[in-house]
Structure 1
Amino acid sequence: MIRAFPFIVLASAASGQDLPRADIYVLGEIHDNAAHHVVQADLVARIDPTAVVFEQLTDEQADRITPDTPRDADTLGVLLDWAESGWPDISLYAPIMAAGGAVIRGAEGAPGDLSAYGLDQPLADDEQARREALQAAVHCDALPPDMLPEFVARQRARDAQFAARTLEAFDTFGPPVVLITGNGHARTDWGVPAAIARVRPEVSVFALIQGEGGETPPGDMTLQAEPEPRPDPCDAFR
């Protein structure tokens, strides 16, 4: 079903684009790009969601954040045991958690019942091949070929889990809800938006992809930022 929405004007950080109203906003990122998190925080403030779901949190962690919890980096870093999480510095994510004062929920943790997402059904051959090629590339072509199907299956399961957790927040708190996640989960062809469309086609989803000037996954809107200086992650495999 085609749905028409009024528009929200984005901040200059989002290049003056317009963002349509939707039930769920999936805001993608490259995890260590600070500019991407600035955009996410700005959009969360403007969308004013009822809840923000984070790929980086379990519900147990999210439950530690009460309405009275100060949402500064120092407080959240200790409260969430962030230093042990393996994610980039909490200073990148704290402004998103502080924007708008929404309920914070987690997308990680026990997956729950994902039977509605068709994870037991094989993908079309061409999609399976594309997904395996992507997994090989992001793992620096270091994975044995016979492991690639398992990595594809894991990604499918995470997309379904993130979709389920986001829909749970949507059903509990009402729209709009924001999901903060990596671009690989935000992509519209087979990521979280596609998983939501499979089980709840009446729920409108808008997906933002944020890149660093190169090729990006498909999304409803793509924004580019300067790349972060970082070592080549494939050096460890050479």
Structure 2
Amino acid sequence: MLPVMVQTFQPDIAVLGEVHDNPAHHLNQAAAVAALKPRAMVFEMLTPDQAARITPALRADPEALAREIGWEEAGWPDFAIYAPIFEAAPDALIMGAALPREELFKVMEEGAERYFGVDAEAFGIDQPYPPELQAELEAEAQANHCNALPETALPGIVEAQRLRDAAFARSLMRARKTTGGPIVLITGSGHARTDLGVPAMLRKAAPGIKLLSIGQLEKIDGVPPEGAQPFDFWIVTEAAPREDPCAAFTKP
């Protein structure tokens, strides 16, 4: 399904969402990448420094590539489920958009606008969220962290997510300027949202770009999410097998 979407739409930039540990989502992304034949792929999971260390020889050896860039140490799921994406566009430039952890902590204290500088207005992060939306996003962040966070931490987490969205959008624009496109972003589906995420910021900063956002979601207890979702297109898959991430917070 994803290959048909990208072939039909032929975007300048395709934002391909995922649930990080779902192997089926990465196979879908790889199929979309093979169909689009991007000149560059930008990864949420890689910093610019990590991406710069990737050579053609490493791309031919996924295990060596993962070791060289410290993939496992960064805490991402097994690189083997991401390898098909790299293999789907062997000649594409690989770029990283992740911000170092220490910079994210700084943003959580100082705010995304101050960190992002003169580009803050272009990407729409120069103004705070409306109070109702801020409260909604804080509640969402709390739920995503098993309702285990102190309330004082929530504004910073929302701000860090906002900065990531802007940083990913800026990286995509730089990739397009460097290569001419098309460009793919590999990212979590939360960043692929058209209402708040990377697509919203791209459409504000560069309204002439032909953009496609695809979200990948999972069934919850076998039931798909209801209603329209904030993507141009979305698909729903079975959930990946995983332990309850909140179990550690409920043990006596």
TM-score normalized by structure 1? 0.88
Distance 1:58 1:131 in 2: 25
How many angstroms does 1:126 deviate by?
A: 2.4
User: What letter matches 2:96 in structure 1?
Assistant: G
The answer as to 2:238 corresponding to 1:229 is no
Q: What 5-or-longer segments of structure 1 have no aligned partner? A: 1-8
8 Å CA contact 2:7, 2:36 repeated in 1: no
Listed one character per residue, the Cα deviations across residues 33-84 of structure 1 (whole Å, up to 9, x for unaligned) are 0000000111111100010000010111111223444333222122222221
8 Å CA contact 1:10, 1:19 repeated in 2: no
Distance 1:62 1:236 in 2: 33
Distance 2:18 2:188 in 1: 5
Distance 2:180 2:77 in 1: 30
User: What letter matches 1:96 in structure 2?
Assistant: I
SS at match of 1:108: coil
8 Å CA contact 2:6, 2:32 repeated in 1: no
Shift in CA distance, 206/17, structure 1 to aligned 2, threshold 3 Å: closer
Distance 1:38 1:24 in 2: 19
How many angstroms does 1:171 deviate by?
A: 0.9
The answer as to 2:69 corresponding to 1:80 is yes
Report what 2:43 is aligned to.
Answer: 54
Report what 2:133 is aligned to.
Answer: 127
Moved more, 81-90 or 215-224: 215-224
Distance 1:78 1:143 in 2: 32
How many angstroms does 1:164 deviate by?
A: 0.7
Report what 2:94 is aligned to.
Answer: 104
Pick the aligned partner of 1:153 from 156, 159, 166. 159
User: What letter matches 2:147 in structure 1?
Assistant: D
Listed one character per residue, the Cα deviations across residues 78-124 of structure 1 (whole Å, up to 9, x for unaligned) are 22222212100111111111212211100113676442323231112
Report what 1:138 is aligned to.
Answer: 144
RMSD over aligned CA atoms reads 2.1
- The aligned length equals 227
The answer as to 2:6 corresponding to 1:42 is no
How many angstroms does 1:183 deviate by?
A: 0.7
Report 1:175-186 matches (<5 A).
175-186=181-192
How many angstroms does 1:131 deviate by?
A: 1.0
Distance 2:230 2:38 in 1: 24
**Percent of residue pairs bearing the same amino acid type:** 46
Q: Which has the higher helix share?
A: 2
Shift in CA distance, 19/187, structure 1 to aligned 2, threshold 3 Å: farther
Distance 1:201 1:17 in 2: 19
How many angstroms does 1:201 deviate by?
A: 1.0
TM-score normalized by structure 2? 0.83
Shift in CA distance, 46/219, structure 1 to aligned 2, threshold 3 Å: same
Q: Which has the higher strand share?
A: 1
Distance 2:235 2:56 in 1: 32
Distance 1:98 1:226 in 2: 24
